[in-house]
């Protein structure tokens, strides 16, 4: 610093402008500044500036992209690509990707129980290109700066660092602003449930992944969620209570899974205090294999249930197709085009009241005329091919009664919880607090059971 001052005075630079020049122009000052503090200040400046200044037109895409790209380049230059890739952990990154896919599948499954709606984002080639540029630079800038700052400041106080970083990237300012004029309880509760708490839970998991395995692991979790949100032409139109439940519970479960999967040696290298015993557990490798197999089975089961594999089940809820299909029977359907449906096939189609399983008895003007085998007359409305979900290829009797009973119990509980939104929020908050408290109390025991790496 003093050497730079002497050079400026020697060339006749005015003394009152020395500090300004040294702060913003001189590379000697920037090189000697604390680099983490420089990145933190830059991140705060970008967040504040983009919150205050919101340009329109093409600048709405270009200006944020330039800001986040600049931040990403500063982090990469400061941290170094070798350090970034050395922090990468393949198993944790793969776990993060599976958690993101699991969360997406839960949202799709929730949409099947409620309804879907068209995405508000216009998917033209130009907007897709601009959105891709803006989203890519945003998540790269955020996750790289998140990982770098947590690696620097999180070793001493990891819990505080994770909480502050998560609050910083969540809509905390919007939440605080709702308290200032005259807070309205119902709007505040809905905002906390549908926006703030899911974002906070997602950022907590992303921050923990970034701290453990670097920015690539947090990108593996955040990127699929962004892709689904921005590029899916249809999105689940969920009630805010169900959206809050999925948006909070999935990251919380993922946080526990990541914490369990994190190697003890990695945690000790990052400066965390971990107690362990030197005796390895027998069958540890086989237990991990069984856990992975069970997770794959559950994932495939969810995919099968939602129809992502082209084949899906449906439970007969009435006796309109007796005797071939009775109440509680499960029909296995396959997605098929309208050209492959023939007379006599049993199809499932959508109506305003739900799904219907009836037999095709005629075709007229491109529409299907359907009728239940136990019904005396055909259905009043012809079925358009776009409403057909699939045709029955196999029937399994009576195994759907368990699902019918569970749905009835769930409907009863759901009706009770939705009587009062404040009651729903209080029960959800208490349940989440109880689960996290129970987990943190037993965390020490789990740590002792880990294998030393």
Q: Cα 4 vs. chain centroid, distance in angstroms? A: 49
CA 424/CA 245 separation, integer angstroms: 10
Structure tokens at 67: 């800001």
The pLDDT score that the predictor gives to residue 423 is: 59
pLDDT of residue 188: 73
**What is the reported pLDDT for 257?**
85
Contact status, residue 246 vs residue 238, Cβ threshold 8 Å: yes
Q: What is the pLDDT of residue 209?
A: 92
Q: Where are the alpha helices (DSSP H) in 33-184?
A: 35-52, 59-79, 81-86, 90-113, 125-153, 158-168, 172-177
CA of 201: how far to CAs of 27, 76, 78, 259, 284, in Å? 39, 27, 29, 15, 30
Q: Would you say 203 and 248 are in contact if contact means Cβ atoms under 8 Å apart?
A: no
Helices 421-448 and 240-261: crossing angle in degrees, nearest 10, is: 10
Q: How many residues does the chain have?
A: 453
* Residue that has been written with the tokens 């007359």 in this structure: 377
Distances (CA, A) of 451 to 12, 92, 208, 441: 65, 16, 21, 20
Rounded to the nearest 10 degrees, the angle between the axes of helix 125-153 and helix 59-79 is 30
- The SS3 call for residue 329 is coil
* DSSP secondary structure, 191-260, as one string: HIIIIIHHHHHHHHHHHHHHHHH-HHHHHHHHHHHHHHHHH-SEEE---HHHHHHHHHHHHHHHHHHHHH
CA distance linking residue 258 with residue 272, whole number of Å: 15
What span, in angstroms and rounded, lies between the C-alpha atoms of 323 and 199? 50
pLDDT on residue 424:
60
The answer to whether the CB of 329 falls within 8 A of the CB of 373 is no
Are the C-beta atoms of residues 58 and 52 closer than 8 Å to each other?
no
Two structure tokens written together for 387: 């409403």
3-state secondary structure string across 250-309 = HHHHHHHHHHHHCCHHHHHHCCCCCCCCCCCCCCHHHHHHHHHHHHHHHHHHHHHHHCCC
Q: What is the pLDDT along the chain (453 residues), one digit of tens a residue?
A: 455 455 445 445 445 444 544 444 444 444 444 678 888 888 888 888 888 888 888 888 898 999 999 999 999 988 888 888 888 888 889 999 999 998 998 888 777 777 788 888 878 888 889 999 999 999 999 999 999 998 888 777 788 888 889 888 888 878 777 777 666 666 777 777 778 888 988 999 999 999 988 899 999 999 999 999 888 888 888 877 778 778 888 888 888 888 888 877 777 777 666 554 444 434 444 455 555 566 566 655 655 555 555 677 888 888 888 888 888 888 888 888 888 888 989 999 988 878 889 999 998 888 999 999 888 889 988 998 888 888 888 888 877 777 677 767 766 766 665 555 555 656 666 666 666 666 556 554 444 444 444
Q: Answer whether 103's CB lies under 8 Å from 246's CB.
A: yes
Burial class of residue 54 in the structure, from the number of CB atoms within 10 Å of its CB (0-12 exposed, 13-18 middle, 19+ buried): exposed
List domains and CATH numbers for the chain. Answer: 31-275 (no CATH), 311-397 (2.10.109.10)
């Amino acid at each position: 610093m003093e050497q730079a001052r002497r050079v400026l005075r020697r060339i006749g630079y005015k003394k009152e402008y020395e500090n300004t020049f040294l702060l913003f122009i001189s590379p000697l000052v920037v090189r000697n500044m604390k680099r983490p503090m420089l990145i933190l200040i830059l991140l705060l400046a970008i967040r504040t500036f983009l919150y205050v200044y919101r340009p329109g037109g093409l600048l709405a895409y270009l200006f944020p992209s330039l800001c986040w790209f600049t931040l990403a380049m500063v982090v990469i230059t400061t941290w170094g690509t070798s350090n970034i890739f050395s922090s990468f952990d393949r198993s944790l990154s793969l776990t993060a990707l599976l958690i993101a896919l699991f969360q997406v599948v839960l949202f799709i499954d929730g949409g099947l129980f409620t309804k879907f709606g068209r995405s508000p984002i216009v998917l033209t080639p130009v907007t897709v290109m601009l959105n891709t540029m803006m989203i890519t630079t945003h998540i790269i800038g955020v996750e790289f700066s998140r990982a770098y700052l947590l690696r620097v400041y999180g070793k001493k106080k990891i819990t505080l660092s994770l909480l502050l970083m998560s609050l910083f990237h969540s809509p905390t300012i919007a939440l605080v602003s709702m308290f200032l004029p005259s807070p309205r309880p119902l709007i505040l509760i809905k905002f906390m449930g549908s926006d703030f708490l899911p974002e906070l839970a997602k950022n907590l998991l992303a921050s923990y992944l970034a701290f453990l395995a670097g920015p690539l692991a947090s990108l593996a979790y955040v990127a699929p969620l962004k892709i689904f949100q921005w590029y899916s032409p249809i999105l689940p139109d969920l009630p805010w209570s169900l959206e809050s439940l999925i948006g909070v519970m999935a990251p919380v479960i993922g946080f526990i899974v990541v914490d369990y999967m994190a190697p003890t040696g990695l945690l000790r290298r990052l400066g965390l205090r971990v107690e362990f015993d030197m005796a390895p557990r027998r069958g540890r490798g086989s237990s991990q294999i069984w856990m992975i197999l069970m997770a794959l089975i559950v994932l495939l089961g969810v995919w099968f249930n939602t129809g992502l594999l082209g084949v899906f089940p449906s439970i007969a809820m009435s006796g309109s197709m007796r005797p071939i299909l009775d109440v509680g029977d499960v029909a296995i359907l396959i997605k098929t085009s309208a050209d492959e449906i023939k007379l006599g096939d049993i199809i499932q189609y959508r109506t305003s009241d739900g799904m219907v399983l009836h037999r095709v008895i005629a075709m007229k003007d491109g529409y299907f005329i359907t009728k239940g085998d136990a019904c005396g007359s055909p259905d009043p409305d012809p079925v358009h091919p776009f409403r057909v979900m699939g045709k029955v290829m196999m029937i399994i009797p009576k195994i759907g009664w368990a699902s019918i009973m569970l749905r009835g119990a769930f409907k009863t509980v759901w009706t009770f919880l939705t009587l009062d939104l404040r009651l729903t929020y209080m029960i959800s908050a208490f349940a989440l607090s109880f689960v996290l408290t129970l987990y943190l109390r037993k965390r020490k025991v789990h740590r002792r059971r880990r294998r030393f790496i």
